[in-house]
Amino acid sequence: MGFWRIALKLAFPVAMQNLLTSSFILVDTIMVGQLGDLSLSAVGMAGQFGWFLNMITFGMCSGAAVFISQYWGAKDTAGIRRTYGIAVVSVCLISALFFGIGLLFPEGVVRIFNREPDVVEAGAAYLRIACWSYLATGVNMVFCIVLRSTENVKLPMYVSIVTTVLNAFMDYGLIFGAFGLPEMGIQGAALATVISAWAGPVLILAVSAIQHNMLISPIKELFGFNKRSIAKYYAKATPVIINETLWGLGTLLFSVIFANLGYQYYAAVTIFRTFDNIAFVFFIGLCNASSIMVGKNVGAGNIKRAVEDSRRFVLFVFLFSVFMGMLIIVFRCQLASVFNLSGSITPDTLKLTASLLLVYGIELPMRNLPYILIVGIFRPGGDTRIGMKLDLLSLWLCSVPLTTLAAFVFKLPFIAVFAIMYAAEDYLKVILCVKYYFTYNWLRPVTEQGVKGLEEFYESRRKKLADQ
């Protein structure tokens, strides 16, 4: 089976699933947007707390994917189940912590972003209900990672179709009091999120029980891990968790900066991020396909094939990003207007949203290259530390300080602050990522077949250089 046939077979269902998940968020944003700028901003701020949890959870799942994809290539079923069990326990613990904070201190969470009483009150009302979805979202992410890493990519997509339709139905009914449901406003949006979130893992488990796929594993094998297994997992997973947590914390800090510049600005940011989630789904699909194919080949010892596939993904992601960026720039005003179906969003917010999309379209190629390299190539190749180092340097030592100075010291226009946030992080990271890619130090197998294959790969390179 050719490269593109395999890549599309893996990428399309994942892209579709993430498109549906983003549509889930899109429906929330459009419907809450009909309640006005303040409600939209409040929900966006409260939602950032759950988003930060998702970044930490994604780090845990990405660490698990390193092992699962390589074990899949080496046909090590016991290793897959052991890693799956560790990931489930880890995600449940961190989700429980965030749930407790969101339930008991919702006002305190929202005040991190904005202290205006009306915003805090609305955001806390949303968060107090929405936090009940955290555990379901985390467990569902683990399920999807296990299924995707073992090349079962269709089930998560089908379940997402059901949950997206359910969310749209519940959103409309509970926000506006349709279909005989109570009219609850933004609290209705939160409750719809909770119901839809729990439907996901329940449906996946139900279908998995029929399919007898990797999720339905013997309890003894699933939770039969020991201290050595946990240490091995976290040796790889900890840098990824730190990486995603640092990146998520940086993004959270940007949200704090934007929110404190005015909730009107944050309404535009909320709309922009909803669109960003939709545009990004194609690259998530490609990244997932890259992760599976590179990780599987590295685990099986097919190092040369892993490297060849990684080069194809890098080139395609760059060219596709340029194409997508041009479309966004051309149609930015029309895209922004989609979120104003009821006419409740102010013209200034829509104009600012269009300006944010302009910056985003220009930045898209530079944004996606590090993403595919770090998440789709370096991590499945076995190197989970480089992303942490690059984020610490480009995000925390460059972008965060420069954005803070631009906003509060030099008091630049909001659009300039937004552009500096992107440029200060992306351009440095692109240079460092591309340079590191060609060292091949990211090839770090966790299987015996992979280690043997890597030795053969380096020996072949030495002979080729000697012949030249």
The two tokens of residue 170 are 């519940």
Taking residues 162-176, report their average pLDDT.
87
User: Which of 139, 114, 127 has its CA nearest to residue 49?
Assistant: 127
Residues 6+ apart with CB under 8 A from 311: none
Res 249 pLDDT > 70: yes
| pLDDT at residue 468, rounded to an integer | 63
Question: Which one-letter DSSP state was computed for residue 132?
Answer: G
Residue 185 has pLDDT above 90, yes or no: no
Higher pLDDT, 467 or 427: 427
- Average pLDDT, integer, range 436-450: 92
> At a CB cut-off of 8 Å and minimum separation 6, what does 409 contact?
none
Q: Tell me what pLDDT residue 446 has.
A: 83
Q: Taking residues 337-344, report their average pLDDT.
A: 69
**What would the pLDDT profile of 104-158 be if each residue is shown by its tens digit?**
999 998 888 777 888 788 888 989 999 999 999 999 999 998 998 888 888 988 8
Q: Which residues on neighbouring strands pair with residue 198, listed in sequence order?
A: none
Number of residues in the chain:
468
Confidence at residue 37, expressed as pLDDT on a 0 to 100 scale:
67
Cα 139 from chain centroid (whole Å): 15
What does the angle CA 231 – CA 233 – CA 238 come to, to the nearest 5 degrees?
Answer: 90
pLDDT surpassing 90 at residue 315: yes
Calculate what percentage of the chain has a pLDDT beyond 70. Answer: 94
pTM, to two decimals:
0.77
Query: DSSP assignment, residue 385?
Result: S
> Cβ neighbours of residue 171 under 8 Å, at least 6 residues apart?
27, 28, 31, 188, 189, 192
Cα separation, 435 vs 429, in Å, equals 10
Residue 72, CA distances (Å) to 65, 75, 152, 214 in order:
10, 5, 12, 11
Q: What is the distance between the alpha carbons of residues 75 and 217, in angstroms, rounded to a whole number? A: 15
DSSP state, residue 356:
H
Over residues 264-278, mean pLDDT = 79
Residue 73 has pLDDT above 70, yes or no: yes
Q: Using alpha carbons, select from 184, 76, 177 the residue that is nearest to residue 130.
A: 184
**Cross-strand bridge partners of residue 443:** 382
Cβ atoms of residues 94 and 60 within 8 Å = yes
Which three-class secondary structure state does DSSP give residue 218?
A: coil
| Residue 425 pLDDT class (50, 70, 90 cuts) | very high
Output DSSP code: residue 212: T
378 sits in which H/E element: none
Task: Output b/e per residue, 5-14; b: 16+ Cβ within 10 A.
Answer: ebbeebbbbb
Task: Say which range, 23-32, 178-187, 421-430, has the weakest mean pLDDT.
Answer: 23-32
Within 13 Å, how many C-alpha atoms sit on residue 155's CB side?
A: 28
In angstroms, rounded to a whole number, what is the distance separating the alpha carbons of residues 117 and 124?
10
Phi and psi, residue 443, nearest 5°: -80, 100
DSSP track, 95-112? HHHHHHHHHH-HHHHHHT
> Please, which pLDDT band fits residue 343 given cuts at 50, 70 and 90?
low
